[in-house]
Structure 1
Amino acid sequence: ALRPVAEPDARRLTVRGQYIAGLHAGQPVKGYVEELSATKGSKTETFVAIKAEINNWRWTGVPFYLRTGKRMSSRHSDIVIQFKRAPHNLFGEQSTNVNKLVIRLQPDEAVRLYVQIKEPGPGGLRVKSLPLNLSYAESFMLRYPDAYERLLMDVVRGNLSLFMRRDEVEAAWRWVDGLIEAWEASGYQPETYPAGTDGPMSAAMLMDRDNRSWWKEN
């Protein structure tokens, strides 16, 4: 049901990137092609951003924005669900944000629901976005195993819930292969971005065209 990316849409719906020299965690680092493991003049992407769509009754018309990369400003995995803006805004111009559900997969697994809260005190109506926070570490006070630990334990236990079936893997690769072919046919080369940043400027423009922006925790 994942809609393929055709050649004419490759530049509009996707962004390819490759990091160059920059600062990562306050330390100078080399660019990808300068690394010992990289072939000189390599066009291998180290960053991808995609606007994806799913063709079924449940998700038609709902955009999915995906972003992954190396040497970015921080290392984390989040799922951000942004709720639709209500047709009638109770707080008027005081509330410009929308409610979001943020699922932090790693590190520090947590679920946060960001809602609009009226600030207490005099001075008129003031609205602020604040999270309702469920932190696994704070709630259970136990060391939570990392992804590979959980994966290996599921192998031992025979739990297949975190594993893809063969037909699912094949379908995923068919979609990715189609995207790579669209890049090659359109001559789309990776755009550079300095190490320690959030990817090429085109990634921000991908969201800006839809009047959106990538999630960044304050």
Structure 2
Amino acid sequence: MINRYRSPYPNYIHQLFITPSKHLYALKDRRLKWQDKAMEVKLDKIEGADKEHVVHYIVADHTSAAFYAEMRTNKTLMTPIEFLMRAWKKKSDFFFHGVPEHVIVPTAVSSKYPEVRGWLEQLGVGLIPPSSGFQAGIHQVRTWENDVANSISLHSYLEKTPCTLDNISVNLAKALRMANDGEINRPGVRMSRKQLWGMQVENRPPIRYME
């Protein structure tokens, strides 16, 4: 059992988040809208929500804080298995890939999608329940939500057209690259998430590819 989530090298532990947005939702014409007042939406009841809420899918490397993210709504949900298969595959346009040795899965996710446990076991990936240390990763979710909101605003300003569910993908890809290329906020560390993820560390095993 890993108690303090000590990760000696990248791809040792990943953190999974499937989080309904507290501020972003889609209108009937598919325009994305930000609401200042936080909306309390639970993952287990998201399908029955009155609004079409944005749902963030994020998997983050514990060592480097590098991450991969996708966005859906409560009307187009995907399973964590679908998401992780894409996140862990080698991609031509994004650096993040590789099957980790362990994954921290929130209780809300494992309860809604119990099949993820067996799938991870088949892959030989250890499943770690979240603890108080998991809260540090929540900050990354909030930061990403702000990045998405800024991308929506920038699109509307530059393109003079609303940002919708149909055209958000290009903006998300840019925001994801910028977030991982930015310098990480750690004492004594002057590297980006991407640089930390790719750093050669003693005893780091070869990257295990997702088939």
TM-score normalised by L of structure 2: 0.30
Report which of the two has the higher share of strand. Answer: 1
Q: Which has the higher contact order (CA 8 A, sep 6+)?
A: 1
TM-score normalised by L of structure 1: 0.29
Between Structure 1 and Structure 2, whose CA radius of gyration is higher? 1
